[in-house]
């Protein structure tokens, strides 16, 4: 679904992402992808700014927001894995979250050595994502001198 170019970060989150997050919190599956040509605003939409957070920070803060219905100690935990895909070939890790590594399977795809890190709050999750994004490869394209040519998966 396309969103207007003048939509606010909050509007995009509420309309496109919030329903997926609420489903996720009730153990339903979902997926969201940001697609578009270089320079179209994908990074801004996902990350936003400190004053106007994008969909990822809003999602992380919602996931870790205390839920009164669950009581003081929720019985759930969350893990993060981050990897890149280049040219739709085998996945490549952005970075090792911890030494060693194990195989991670998602349906029929396996990424050897992909790490899962358990996170306990939005700040920790944002820190891991920020570290991974700093390690993404960049390349020059005709439209953008710092294009992120690989696709990052969280």
Domain extent, residue 13, equals 8-69
Looking at per-residue pLDDT, the higher value among 18 and 144 belongs to 18
* Beta carbons within 10 angstroms of residue 84's beta carbon: 19
Asked whether residue 11 carries a pLDDT value surpassing 90, the answer given is: yes
The verdict on residue 61 lying in a domain is yes
- 48 assigned binding-site residue: no
3 lies in some domain: no
80: tokens are: 């993060």
* Segment 78-96, tens digit of pLDDT: 888 887 665 444 444 444 4
147 marked as part of a ligand binding site: no
Tell me the per-residue pLDDT of 34-82, one tens digit each, with 9 for 90 and over: 888 888 888 899 999 999 999 999 999 999 887 655 555 556 788 888 8
Give the burial class of 77: count Cβ atoms within 10 A of its Cβ; 0-12 exposed, 13-18 middle, 19 or more buried.
Answer: exposed
Are 56 and 82 found together in one domain?
A: no
Position 101 scores a pLDDT of 54
- Is residue 36 part of an annotated ligand binding site? yes
Q: By C-alpha distance, which of 55, 86, 78 is closest to 125?
A: 78
Give domain status of residue 57, yes or no. yes
Q: What per-residue confidence (pLDDT) applies to 3?
A: 58
DSSP assignments along 38-62, one per residue: TTSSHHHHHHB-SSSB-HHHHHHHH
The Cα 129–Cα 134 span in angstroms is 9
Domain boundary among 18, 40, 69: 69
Domain assignment present for residue 59? The answer is yes
Task: Check whether 41 is labelled as a binding-site residue.
Answer: yes
Strongest mean pLDDT among 21-30, 86-95, 109-118: 21-30
Q: Is 38 annotated as a binding residue?
A: yes
Q: Tell whether residue 120 is among the known ligand binding residues.
A: no
Q: Which residue in 51, 89, 83, 74 sits closest to 121, CA to CA?
A: 74
């Amino acid at each position: 679904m396309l969103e207007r170019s003048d939509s606010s970060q909050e509007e995009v989150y509420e309309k496109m992402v919030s329903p997926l997050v609420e489903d996720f919190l009730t153990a339903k599956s979902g997926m969201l992808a940001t697609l578009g040509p270089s320079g179209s605003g994908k990074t801004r939409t996902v990350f936003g700014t400190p004053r106007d957070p994008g969909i990822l920070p809003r999602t992380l803060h919602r996931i870790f927001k205390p839920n009164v219905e669950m009581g003081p100690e929720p019985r759930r935990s969350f893990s993060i894995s981050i990897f890149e895909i280049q040219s739709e070939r085998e996945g490549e890790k952005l970075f090792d979250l911890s030494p060693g590594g194990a195989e991670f399977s998602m349906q029929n795809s396996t990424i050897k050595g992909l790490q899962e890190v358990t996170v306990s709050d939005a700040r920790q999750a944002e820190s891991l994502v920020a570290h991974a994004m700093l390690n993404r490869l960049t390349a020059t394209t005709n439209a953008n001198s710092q294009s992120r040519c690989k696709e990052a998966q969280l």
